[in-house]
Chains A and B, each alone.
Chain A
């Protein structure tokens, strides 16, 4: 419940403050969001599996975000930023899908 409220609060804060994305971060924010979504779904799956650990969750959350952003940053430096961010998004998307599939099995037994 608190978690859902936290998500709601975050969305409301975003709507309320309407922050501007710093120019330097503009290419990385979408990647970071997708990476964190991956971490969140992974955490939800772990919770439903009964192996959720908040420490693991926090660490995986930040490492996911940082690594995804770092990969894209590296790609930008190497001149393949666009392709690498596509690759990262694809990988994270696959993970999100498999996590959501597991969650679905837990919740709907289907």
Chain B
């Protein structure tokens, strides 16, 4: 390195001179090859200087080193190879090795402490999440209960208002006019008695559902219920407890006796299952409004 310098030569042959002089230096065996190159050109000989000459600044020195191998560089290369090898090995071992075989006692204790802390944190998190889950479940349960209750209520109201077809045990009353037409009073009495006996749904002739707003009027050729003309025979389907309903019809001086007195034949069938298909269209109340003050 500490060779004298002739900077003037540099611009002429920056690369070759650098390579030329080095070879003999780093590889004595290569001299025979290197010399022939050098021989033809006298310039290269002094040229070696450019590298060392530049050394005035570190940057030039580094550039020179990159262009011009030397024996020292070979040694450095070997050591750097060792460093690179060891570093890669260590990195790999660090990445791959997940066993604790090579750790010190203190390290193992630290690892254990860390794991214990992590476990504790995880457990508290589990407890926290479980609490949240319980809260959510109970609120879900409450919501579902409220929903079921509301659904039950809606079903009950729909049946009472006659909005949905219903099915269930009950009786079928067939009133046939023999000698006289059915009177409105008797029909109203019948409906009232059936309601008193616990009728839950009623329809007449499979056409008209009897609800709270139903009205019964006399009409030409029969009876008009809710504006629908019904004729004999009148078939009244009633859902409720069959025996009670039958009892409500047949007691002394009851509706059956009244019908027969008026001159009609009454036939009562107790059925285990009865379908009431007719419904009424819900009507928006025009005048009545819910009183929220209570």
Task: Name A's B-contacting residues (CB within 8 A).
Answer: 1-11, 13-15, 18-21, 23, 26-27, 29-30, 32-33, 36-37, 39-40, 43, 47-50, 52, 54, 57-58, 61, 76, 79, 81-82, 103, 106-107, 109
Contact = CB atoms under 8 A, between A and B. Distances in A.
7 contacts: A1-B69, A3-B65, A30-B90, A33-B86, A36-B86, A43-B76, A54-B71
B60 to A, nearest CB: 10
A21 B213 CA distance: 95
B88 A11 contact: yes
Given A5-B77, A29-B90, A82-B107, A10 B102 contact: no
B83 A3 contact: no
B252 interface: no
Contact of B84 (A8, A32, A54): A8
Interface string B35-66: 00000000000000000000101110110011
Main secondary structure of the interface of A (DSSP, over half): helix
A47 B107 CA distance: 39
Main secondary structure of the interface of B (DSSP, over half): helix
Contact of A7 (B61, B66, B84): B84
- Report the interface size class on chain B: 35 or more
Contact of B83 (A4, A5, A37): A37
Most A Cβ at <10 Å: residue of B57, B80, B102: B80
Given A1-B65, A9-B81, A106-B59, A54 B88 contact: no
Nearest to B94: A30
Contacts of A32: 86
Nearest to A32: B86
A76 B84 CA distance: 26
A100 to B, nearest CB: 13
Contact of B58 (A1, A30, A33, A49): A49
A29 B86 CA distance: 7
B87 interface: yes
10 nearest A-B residue pairs (beta carbon): A6-B77, A106-B58, A10-B84, A14-B88, A26-B102, A48-B58, A10-B81, A54-B72, A7-B80, A11-B84
A40 B80 contact: yes
B101 to A, nearest CB: 6
A6 B75 CA distance: 9
B74 A2 contact: yes
